[in-house]
Amino acid sequence: MSYRVAITKAGSPSVLKIQEMPMPTPGEGEVCIEVHYAGINFADTLMRLGLYQPRPPFPFTPGYELSGIVQSLGKGVTDFEVGQRVVAAMPTGGQSSHVSVKSSRVIPVPDDLGLDAAAAMPVTYLTAHHMLHYLGHLKKGETVLIHGGAGGVGTAALQLCQWAGIENVWATASGSKSQIIESFGGIAIDRHNQDFVKIIKEATNGRGVDHILDPIGGDNLTRSLSVLAEGGRLYTYGMSAAAPSSKRSLIRAYLAWRKTPKFDPLKLMTRNRGVFGVHMGTWSDEDAMAEQLLKIMKGIESGHLKPVIDSVFHAKDVAQAHQYIHDAKNVGKVLIKFAED
């Protein structure tokens, strides 16, 4: 039986359902994959709440990443073979037992890498790499501030900074998660009990940091901008402030948007600072995406990058997985499982 996770309407995790679906047939240039693991990202929870764009109309299947086994090949596909272990970055729809996807979005998985670790790679490492390296041209001697440092993108960014030889990296998270940040060479900031603005200004003698990764939004984004150094780059790639709980609240979402800064081009020019909005689900340059994924895979093979997997839920327990993420319990990646390795 082929089946999928479906978000039936906007709301709490209870709107998530498991639905049967026809077995997909790969079109020209596509690969059909039997999915073993699919990643869950905070963007999935925001789409479920109806607070994230773009998204397909309800009902739809979320999921930007997966790993599994090639089941069949479409016409013209010569780079893969049936039975091969692969990982794929999806525009959406990855949380299904079987998917058909463009072969350009698929890369092989080395024999010594588990399919669980492979599924934890595309969104987190690709997002972090895209911000720090593709857009930011990160180099030694620069400084970095990572919000949500214990999450999937946060732990990936910490490892990328460590691999690049960046010595001064601060990361915010709950105080109980400081150990994971420190294990990757970061300086932990307790987001609930410490003021990151004060800490950064004191540590940099008022200069600020060169790169800031902010998935929180709202007034946190305003405060991030206040500690961005001259020539620095601020990357905004989420709005978790709009969804502080698993239940849909348009009032809370509205307040978060109201507190989000309105960027003034003249002020950015006079202070020589830049702001990037990042959404890998809408990034259309697949060649650049594939190139970055291959670099990340080399980093994993060399041991510089080690996907951090917090937990694996069975696909039928996807609602529990969403609640787990909303409760900020995860350190690293949360996966759902469709098939045995």
pLDDT band at 262 (very low <50, low <70, confident <90, very high): confident
Q: Cα dihedral angle (122, 128, 134, 136), rounded to 10 degrees? A: 180
pLDDT tens profile 4-28 = 999 999 999 999 999 999 999 999 9
pLDDT tens profile 99-111 = 999 999 999 999 9
Amino acid at 225: L
Q: What percent of the chain has pLDDT over 70?
A: 94
**The length of the chain, given as a count of residues:** 341
Amino acid at 262: K
Where does 124-280 sit in CATH, by number?
A: 3.40.50.720
Measure the CA–CA gap between 333 and 339, rounded to whole angstroms: 18
End-to-end CA separation in angstroms for the chain? 17
Q: Which of 3-7, 212-216, 220-224, 336-340 has the lowest mean pLDDT?
A: 336-340
- Check pLDDT > 60 for residue 245: no
Please state the φ and ψ torsions of residue 73, each to the nearest 5 degrees.
Answer: -120, 140
pLDDT of residue 119: 96
Please state the φ and ψ torsions of residue 221, each to the nearest 5 degrees.
Answer: -70, -40
Extract the tokens encoding 302.
């060399």
CB 237 within 8 A of CB 277: yes
Count CB atoms within 10 A of the CB of residue 223: 18
Extract the tokens encoding 37.
């693991």
The answer to whether domain 3-121+307-337 has CATH 3.40.47.10 is no
Measure the CA–CA gap between 151 and 123, rounded to whole angstroms: 12
Task: Using the structure block, give the residue that is written with the tokens 């010594």.
Answer: 112
Helix axes 122-129, 152-163, angle to 10 degrees: 50
For the chain, give every domain's residue range: 3-121+307-337, 124-280
Q: Which residues contact 340 (CB under 8 A, 6 or more apart)?
A: 36
Measured CA to CA in angstroms, residue 150 lies from 81, 176, 178 at distances of 37, 10, 8
Q: What percent of the chain has pLDDT over 90?
A: 79
Quick one: average pLDDT of 47-72? 92
- Check pLDDT > 60 for residue 54: yes
Count CB atoms within 10 A of the CB of residue 237: 22
CB 124 within 8 A of CB 149: no
pLDDT of residue 1: 80
Give the H or E element holding residue 102. strand 98-102
Extract the tokens encoding 299.
């980093």
